[in-house]
Amino acid sequence: MDISLMIALFVASAVRMAVPLLLGTLGESLTERAGNLNLGVEGLMMMGAATGFIAAYHTDNIALAILVGMLGSGFGALLYAILTITFRTKQDVTGLALTIFGTGFANTLGKSLANQNTPPAIREFAQATPLHLPLEPVASLPVLGPVLAFIDTAFLQHNWFVYLTFAAAVVGWIYLFRTREGLHLRMVGENPAAADASGIRVIAAKYVHVVIGGILCGLGGVYISVVNVGTYLENIVAGRGWIVVALVIFIRWDPLKAIAGSLLFGALEIVGFRIQHIEGLSSIPVFSQYAIDMYPYLMTIIVLVITYARKKAYQGPAALGVPYFREDR
């Protein structure tokens, strides 16, 4: 096969794999920027996957499926928020409990629909490629033709859900670094006492961002069950929530870097298959599937080490994991 087509198809596959990771990473970045470490990402994604699929199955309406998935995961995030923000429970323990709770919640709710498929209108939405270019007129042009064909195959043959996810990352970056509210949020995560003193409503900011963050994670689950695979199965998220927790550190809590990070981690999930089809390459040990499965975590560790070594690098929200208690000051 033509090498540029091969690469384009590989990138397209990586984009699809990146979507749930990106949504989870955006959600967890917002949550952590508010000073809350939520280890319940896997649970939230499962809640979104199950509730979204139930709505999709019964209504055949993608908007309703997304909405219900948001409500389902929002509920999980709200539980976590009440416990960690109002009652100041240990964030790590509560997050782990949320993973178990969310998985159990999803499996209980989704049990009767396990292995069912999404109905026709949802499948049509998932398979539609609204931005696909009509390339026949330019296909024969010398440089432009192949370049456009590459871009089209790699990036423009996806559904709206994919594009909105990447748009959400850009919006998230603008919000975090170019708006007053974003500045306030970062302040809450760095130094809630100072934020409080300057008139920012710390508790409210934490609640809002933890819940929205959880909803974004849940949308990652909705993507997997409703949009991508089109089936609900027990534990369909298959550990991506944990990859997200590592990815957030890898991208230094920055939504724009999250795009690159999730594409890279997504690509690493599938690069093994693609390499398996290239003669010679796959017999090299560093390209074996087993080695490749390890790379996301290995890279996260490397990034951690590098950033800790470089004093100037951003080390994450200073008040991450610390419950805020006004009278503590």
Residue ranges that bind other proteins, judged by CB under 8 A: 1, 6, 9, 13, 16-17, 20, 79, 82-83, 86-87, 89, 94, 97-98, 100-105, 107-108, 111-112, 114-115, 117-118, 123, 127, 224, 228-231, 233-236, 238-239, 269-270, 272-279, 281-283, 288-290, 293
Closest distance of CB 132 from other proteins, Å:
14
Closest distance of CB 287 from other proteins, Å:
9
Distances in whole angstroms, Cα of residue 129 to Cα of each of 156, 159, 170, 276: 7, 5, 21, 28
Closest distance of CB 196 from other proteins, Å:
20
Closest distance of CB 229 from other proteins, Å:
5
CB atoms within 10 A of CB 3: 8
CB atoms within 10 A of CB 86: 12
- Output 80 or 253, the one with its CB closest to other proteins: 80
- Output 239 or 310, the one with its CB closest to other proteins: 239
| CA 29 from centre of chain | 10
- Output 175 or 295, the one with its CB closest to other proteins: 295
Closest distance of CB 163 from other proteins, Å:
18
In the chain, helix, strand, coil percent, each to 5? 75, 0, 25
Contact (Cβ atoms closer than 8 angstroms) between residue 39 and residue 89: no
Q: How far apart are the first and last CA of the chain?
A: 65
CA 100, CA 201: separation in Å to the nearest integer?
A: 31
- Output 86 or 198, the one with its CB closest to other proteins: 86
- Output 203 or 275, the one with its CB closest to other proteins: 275
